[in-house]
């Protein structure tokens, strides 16, 4: 192995070290495997929920967001939004929803790749997966803000409400309407995966940093 490649891949574990400290070297891979499972499971679960309480809908209107689609009372909410000049919900994040599944597959593969690196380069591979749930919320806030702050002045009730940014988490008031937004189990699993990956990187550093500093012949 060339010196440059060895710097990326990191030191190898000798058979003697493996026998003496098996769990030390197994632990990072096991935790990264758990993180991959959590990310995959999150794909099939809702990432975000919103309930819209409106006078004409006593049971409220419900919106559920997955990483690649919106479900629920989308048409009814779009109907209400039309009167205040807000664009249809499905106009938001079209690119993000189109690539979401493949992006998640890429994140899982990057986390898997980190299992085979015994150097600091492993951290670079897992950063996208760690930051993904934060990006999801930030992207949702961006679209909520863009749509809420750019209402169509020609809409029938354009003068009845000021531009607004609906909260992506918690409760908000928009004129006579109330919104209640919360994380879904998919996003909760994604955040859990982030925590598991950070634990894996701690275990990774504990296992392989001594080999990097002292060489693979040391215990």
Q: Is the pLDDT of residue 195 over 90?
A: yes
How far apart CA 136 and CA 126 sit, in angstroms, is 16
Q: Return all residues near 8 (Cβ < 8 A) that are at least 6 apart.
A: 117, 119, 121
pTM exceeds 0.85, yes or no: yes
Per-residue pLDDT of 55-75, as tens digits, reads: 889 899 999 999 999 999 999
What percentage of the chain reaches a pLDDT higher than 90? Answer: 65
For position 65, what pLDDT does the model report? 97
How far apart CA 172 and CA 174 sit, in angstroms, is 7
**Mean of all residue pLDDT scores within the chain:** 90
């Amino acid at each position: 192995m060339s010196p440059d490649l060895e710097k990326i891949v990191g030191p190898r574990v000798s058979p003697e070290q493996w026998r003496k400290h098996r769990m030390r070297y197994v632990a990072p891979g096991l935790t990264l495997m758990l993180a991959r499972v959590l990310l995959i499971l999150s794909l099939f679960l809702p990432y975000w929920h919103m309930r819209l309480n409106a006078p004409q809908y006593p049971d409220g209107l419900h919106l559920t967001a997955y990483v690649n689609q919106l479900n629920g009372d989308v048409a009814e909410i779009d109907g209400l939004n039309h009167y205040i000049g807000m664009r249809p919900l499905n106009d938001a994040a079209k690119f993000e929803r189109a690539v979401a599944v493949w992006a998640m597959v890429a994140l899982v593969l990057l986390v898997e790749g980190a299992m085979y690196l015994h150097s600091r380069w492993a951290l670079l591979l897992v950063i996208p997966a760690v930051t993904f749930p934060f990006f999801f919320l930030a992207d949702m806030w961006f679209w909520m803000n863009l749509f809420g702050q750019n209402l169509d002045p020609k809409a029938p009730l354009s003068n009845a409400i000021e531009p607004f940014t609906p909260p992506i988490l918690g409760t908000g008031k928009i004129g006579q309407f109330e919104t209640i937004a919360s994380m879904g189990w998919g996003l909760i699993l994604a955040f859990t995966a982030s925590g598991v990956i950070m634990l894996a990187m701690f275990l990774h550093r504990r296992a392989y940093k001594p080999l990097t500093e002292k060489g693979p012949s040391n215990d």
